[in-house]
A = this chain, B = another copy of it.
Amino acid sequence: MKHYTIKDIAKKLNVSISTVSRAFNDKYDIKKETKDLILKTAEEMGYIPNPMAKKLSQKRSLNIGVVVPEFINEYYSEIVIAIQEFFRSKGYQVLVMQSDEDETQELTNAQTLIHNMVDGLIVAPTAGYKNMQYYQSRIKEGYPLVFLNRIEESVPVSKVVFNNTKWSFFATEHLIRQGYQKIYHLSGYKDLSVTNERVEGFKKAMDKNNIQKENYKIIETGLLAEEGMEVVEGLMFHHDIPDAFFCVNDMVAIGVMKKLKDNGYRIPEDVAVVGFTETRIAKLIIPQLTSVKQPTFEMAKKAGEILLKRITNPSAEIETQIFNGELNVRKSSVREVSN
């Protein structure tokens, strides 16, 4: 497993190192026979170009940076996997850092990655947008940057987002159509764009169906099951359990379901529960959980494509891609129980 260099090959074949180098970079003229010979010998010797040297001389790292809030949950795991898969086939390596839903950490991560000379960056911002100024500056310098999922509207940058408003609207309207009248929305972190958009969709559905303000609530939560449980506990204390919960994600929904069931509520007969950003557990829990499925894989891939386009062609235009999903209606929100 000695790491051979082009020098070794050159010496062995009595050619110059530039010739060997050219054999690997087919943008240069080189006699077909010598090229073939070089490639063959290299293959035999098990030669692999030294990535460090290549990067140094090309002044690019062939590394891509990805900053996500976390990847303990299925969602960002899938995002990361999809991005890695996309870039691996293009010869890039993907460095992933997680911000732990902390803005300062996120900034540090982005800076670390940029200082480490990643050729481009995909960021799924955490709540709050204190770092936008930093991103703005990088963008102005022409740094390839794509935002994923949680976006500050105002920044002129390429984005890949899910149409939260629309699908939040659909999910809410589904609950209304099922006859649930008093619906509470557990909304996730306050400053998140996804939260705002979903709240917007939720309200739209309320307005459209003439549901009065006293018959719905928007309750800020985190993203963990425990937080869903706490909310339900608080509501029980105030004898304020609604007909239905529309939750920011499946984990919160599961927490809500657990607490409700533990206290004798029947789902969906007494209370309905709907999740968002569907995970595998939705189908496995009893009752099965209605949720909005997002095209996670496609979104991540698209983010990769946009970034790569931007890296290889610095004058590529800013691009915004909005994705749609599907509402998977399951037992947790269906009154006329069919299954």
Contact = CB atoms under 8 A, between A and B. Distances in A.
Interface string A30-71: 000000000000000000101111011000010000000001
A225 B279 CA distance: 13
Which 7 pairs from chain A and chain B are nearest by CB? A48-B115, A52-B56, A52-B55, A225-B284, A254-B284, A56-B56, A258-B284
A2 to B, nearest CB: 9
Contacts of A84: 96-97
Contacts of A93: 95, 116
Given A72-B74, A143-B1, A280-B225, A51 B262 contact: no
Interface residues of A, number: 41
A71 B61 contact: no
Contacts of A209: none
Contact of A117 (B3, B72, B116): B3
A282 to B, nearest CB: 11
Interface string A90-105: 0001011110000000
A86 to B, nearest CB: 14
Given A93-B116, A284-B255, A286-B286, A77 B81 contact: no
A78 interface: yes
B284 A141 contact: no
18 contacts: A1-B114, A1-B143, A51-B61, A51-B115, A51-B117, A52-B55, A71-B81, A72-B78, A72-B81, A77-B77, A81-B98, A84-B97, A225-B280, A225-B284, A254-B281, A255-B284, A258-B284, A281-B281
